Amino acid sequence: MAYKSILTIVTDPQAQAAQIDAAVALARAEDAHLELFSLGIDRTQTGYYYAGATGFVYQEMIEQAQRDVAEVEAALRQRMAAEDIRWSCEAAVAQLGAMSGLIALRARFADLVVQMKPYAKGQPGECEAIVEAAMFEGGAPLLVVPETGLQAIPGQRVVIAWNQSVEALNAVHAALPILKRAAMVNIAVIDPPQHGPERSDPAGLLSQWLSRHGVRAEVSVLAKTMPRISDILARHLRDTDADLLVMGAYGHSRFREAILGGATRNTLEATERPVFMAH
C-alpha cells in the first residue's frame, strides 16, 4: 500500500503553516493527492446567554464561522496556487461539539492524515479534538508534526515503540510503506513483562513479520530507568538519531490520559520529532 490520499485539516493557516508545508512535501514525495479541509468552528455555547438572545447569538456565531472558514479557504487556495502537486480544497462549518462526525467522514477515505501536534504552543484549541476524531471515529493513521515542521521527509531512521498492544500493531501495519523504505528500523521494547507471551524473545514475532516484507529491524530492550515511558522513548530517539517514531495511540482511555497523563499524551507534548500514530 502507498499513501495516495493525504488529508490535512486546517482551522488557522498561520498557526498551522508548518503542518500545511509538511502535508505538501509528503504529497509530493508520495505522488499523492492532497486534500485540504478548511474547518470553521461554530463556538456557540448553549445556555450561556440571557433569555431571548439565543436565536440571535446562534445566527451571529454561525455567520462568523462562515466568514472565518471562507478566509481560511481563500488563504489555502492562495498558498497552493503555485504548487505542482495534485490537490483539492473544501470548506465546512461545524459546532465544536459536533465536528467529530465531519472529520471522521473525511479521514475514513484518507490513507494518511497530517496534523500539527495538538499541544504545541499557539495551536488552536480544537487541535486535540481533530486528532482524536481522525483516529477514533475516522480510523486513520496520523503523522503528527512538531512545531518546527519537517526538516526532511521522515522515515529514513525509524523507531517503533512496541508493547505488544493492538494499537502498536495497527500503527506498524499502517506505517509499513515507510518502514519498507527506511534505512534503519529499531524496535524499542521497554521493560517487557517477565511472564508475557514474548518473554523469551521480545518483539521476535514482529521482527520476523517485518523481515518477510523486506524490513530488516533490530530490537532494543530498554530498562524503565525513568518514570515516564515518553522520556525513555525521547532519549532513545536521540541515541539512535531517529527521525520518526511509530507508536500505537491511547492504549488507555482518552479521559484517563487527559487527567492522569499517559505515553501518548506525554509523547505528543514533548516530542521534537514527527510521530506516526494509529489506534
**If one looks up domain 5-145 in CATH, what number appears?**
3.40.50.620
Report residue 159: phi and psi, to 5°: -110, 130
Domain boundaries, the chain: 5-145, 157-278
Report helix, strand or coil for 11: coil
DSSP category for residue 140 = -
Residue 70: pLDDT above 80?
A: yes
For residues 210 and 154, what is the distance between their CA atoms, to the nearest angstrom?
A: 19
How many Å separate Cα 275 from the centre of its chain?
7
What pLDDT does 198 receive? 73
As given in the structure block, the three cell numbers for residue 65 are 464561522
* Whether the Cβ atoms of residue 221 and residue 189 lie closer than 8 Å to each other: yes
Burial class, 203, CB count within 10 angstroms (exposed 0-12 / middle 13-18 / buried 19+): buried
Q: How confident is the model at residue 256 (pLDDT cuts 50, 70, 90)?
A: very low
**Candidate from 40-44, 77-81, 104-108, 244-248 with smallest mean pLDDT:** 40-44
Are both 5-145 and 157-278 of the same fold? yes
Residue 247 grid coordinates: 507508536
Q: What is the dihedral of CA 24, 26, 30, 33, to 10 degrees?
A: -40
CATH homologous superfamily, domain 157-278? HUPs (3.40.50.620)
Confidence category of residue 55, pLDDT binned at 50, 70, 90: low
What SS3 class is residue 240? helix
